[in-house]
Amino acid sequence: AAREGRVEQADLKGGTISISNIGALGGTYAAPIINAPEAAIVAIGKTQWLPRFDEHGAVQRRAILTVTWAGDHRFIDGGTIARFCNAWKGFLEAPESMLLHLA
């Protein structure tokens, strides 16, 4: 429905988390603001090729995706968001690892 432009305002309400793809607009960083009454929001920037050091100290060209989070501390604490973000990062870096978590 969204691709056909048939999403109603009511379809966008009642969620727990919002995902903003600022990368589609060329954005790299954002400070997302929570849409009450949701518990969290994530902004995903565009992938950039940037220099990074490898385990031997050599500079490597790496694809970097910036992801920023905001959480409502009445519902969720920063540690929970950090653990979730680290798990998500692991899945993005090694998608095959998701198979280990299927029950």
Q: Which helix (H) or strand (E) holds 85?
A: helix 78-93
Strand, coil or helix: 11: helix
Q: Any idea what DSSP says for residue 59?
A: E
| Catalytic site includes residue 56 | no
Name the catalytic one among 56, 72, 73, 101. Answer: 73
Catalytic residue among 11, 54, 72, 77: 77
Three-state SS at 22: helix
Residue type present at position 81: I
Q: 72 an active-site residue?
A: no
CA separation for the pair 99, 103 (Å, rounded): 9
> Known catalytic residues?
73, 77
